[in-house]
Amino acid sequence: MAEDIHALRERARHAAAAGAFEQAANALFLAATQTHVAEGDYVTILGPLADVLARRGDARSALTVEWYLGRNDPNRIRRALAAHGARVPPVDRARTHALLGDMAAAAREMETQGAVAAAAIYREKAKDFGAARALWSRLSLVAKGGADAYNAALVQYNLAQCAKQCGDEPQAREARVACVRLLEEAADYFESVGQRERAFDCFQVLVQAGKSSGAFEDVLEGYVNCIRILREDHLKYFALQYYEEALTAAKERGEFSAAATLAREAADYARLLGMLPTSLHYVVGQGELWLAVARAHEERGAPPEIAENAVLAAVLAFGEVGQFGQVGQLYGRLAGLDLDKSRKAHYARAAARYANVKSEPLDMAPLPSHLRQDGGAPEVWHVDLLEWEQRGSASEACAEVLLEGRWPDLIRRKALLARMTAFAVEGQPENQASNVAAARLAEQLAQLQLYAVLSPLEALFERKDRTVRSAVLRAMKTLFFKRTFVTVRKGLRDPDGPIVREAATAVESLYFQHAFDPLSRIVRESSLPEVRGAALRALAKVDTLEAAEFLLGTLDHGGPADQKAAADGLKESRGSRFLELARSTLPQASPELAQLLRDILRRRGIQA
């Protein structure tokens, strides 16, 4: 049972009075690990902790605690900066200035630190786009492409934005062209190595680059590929939201034909998901867009046959959903076009057939608000460059979380503790003390359960100590991101047997819905039955048709060990997709497969 925080605080008070600052700090740090307590109680720990840390000469940790305490108290932050600023590195002074709203001072400190991307971002926040442009230009000489194509593309994107703000359109255009080329290069690479989520980031930036430059082909390419990746990863509501964003972008640019095609695809996808009202909404929208295409051609004086084709496409859309009154009106409109007499007569007869036909009532609605993701896409052109520049620094990643106002106090407290632990790891030689701290740091980072901790954990996994590497893999079990598999797969290829076993245990825990691609890749690539078995048992908990078909193939054609692992996983699974597939497959299954399927169905309480 944890010792009471009040008792720990009292013990620390006595130790500090006796000059035993290390002992006092340890007691208060132990009390601070009780992150579940009320805020009023928690700050009574942190106040004395900041004082003790300062008195023992740990200015960085003391300032970190002051960041938490002074979030809404600028005067406290100013006093902390005056007290500790001269004894902390420029990066900490930069963050403190930023907390006070002085972005220009923050930029100067970051530049002193050598953090060019961070300095440029602060210059942008200070509206000093000329200085920001110079910094991005400087960074473009470092990030040039190849293995670094993605980061080089982000640098070029930021350079283009700043050049545009400075009125330098030639430089902005040159940077945008370079950005698009590098994004396409990076996306191809990420998809080739199975990191579709990183390719998704490339296409998000491509959308923004296209919007900035007015190049709709880039906007469309970006959205189409984002939607493709979201659909492949079964993120269905995100995919529909991106369809809507793409439709809006196309309509704003007057690209009604592209918008109509997107509406057709969105309608088909929503119908596939069983969302009939949403599908009907997109079908009707498609019909209206084809009419907008026809009007645009008529206004431009295009040949009437082009408008005819657009109106016919609208007829098909409205007819598909029983809007026969609208269909009759459209045939009348076709009859009025300057077309061949026989076609005009044909359309007039069709209009007459629909003269007294009414449209069917429609229960249609757009994507419900509760299924939408608020907040828009993250600014990866800043966030990812900061991660790249920080090179896996846990102290910097935790500082970002600690100072980010959107996180709840519980997360900020855990980031505070992890940052102070990171000081005992980063820049220290690998020895027993730093390895113990590194293993503890991995555990603390895992508790944040944020994407931002993946880079620091990846850096920790490069250490030689088995205890640290095992702690990292245990941390990965709680981080349900596709990028998690990058480190886990390294562990699976490790020559150290215990590390491989720890990685296999992590694999079995990572069964979130869009994990199909990395899990199936592990099954295909690994030569170790226990590793393939872990991935197959995880796949059995991924309730998608794609996973069900993969497991069925394993039961039908896999080796005995793989068949057993898949069957064992499916017997314990709670999903329904495989059950549906198994029942439809039974009549034509081989005797061996049929027996396996019946065993699984019986275990799930279904007689077959």
Q: How many CB atoms lie within 10 A of CB 78?
A: 15
Helix segments in 103-148, DSSP class H = 103-113, 116-125, 129-140
Confidence at 207, pLDDT banded by 50, 70, 90: very high
pLDDT one-digit tens code per residue, 489-544: 999 999 999 999 999 999 999 998 889 989 999 999 999 999 999 999 999 999 98
Q: Which two tokens stand for residue 216?
A: 């709709």
User: What fold, for 388-603?
Assistant: Leucine-rich Repeat Variant (1.25.10)
Instruction: For the chain, give the number of residues.
Output: 608
User: How many CB atoms within 10 Å of residue 13?
Assistant: 15
Tokens of 507: 């694999």
Reading the block at residue 76, the tokens are 């406290």
Packed helices 545-557 and 560-572: angle between N→C axes, nearest 10 degrees? 140
pLDDT of 1 > 50? The answer is: no
Please write the tens of the pLDDT for every residue from 243-257.
Answer: 999 999 999 999 999
Distance CA 332, CA 347 (A): 7
44: three-class secondary structure by DSSP: helix
Task: Take residue 114 and report the two structure tokens written for it.
Answer: 């050598």
Same CATH topology for 5-88 and 388-603: the answer is no
Tokens of 480: 């349900």
CA 56 to chain centre: 41
Please state the separation of Cα 352 from the chain's center in Å. Answer: 54
pTM above 0.75, yes or no: yes
pLDDT digits (tens, 9 = 90+) for 296-322: 999 999 999 999 999 999 999 999 999
CB neighbour burial string for 534-559, b if at least 16 within 10 angstroms, e if fewer: bbbbbbbbbbbebbbebbbebbeebe
Selection from 116, 157, 123 nearest residue 139 by Cα = 116
Element (H, E) at 178: helix 169-192
Domain boundary assignment for the chain: 5-88, 388-603
Instruction: Give the mean model confidence (pLDDT) for residues 68-94.
Output: 96
Q: Which residue in 168, 135, 140, 134 sits closest to 154, CA to CA?
A: 140
pLDDT in tens, 461-476: 999 999 999 999 999 9
SS3 call for 378: coil
- Using a CB cutoff of 8 Å and minimum separation of 24, what contacts does 562-565 make? 562/523, 562/529, 562/532, 562/533, 562/536, 563/596, 564/533, 565/529, 565/532, 565/533, 565/534, 565/536, 565/537
In this structure, which topology does domain 5-88 adopt according to CATH?
1.25.40
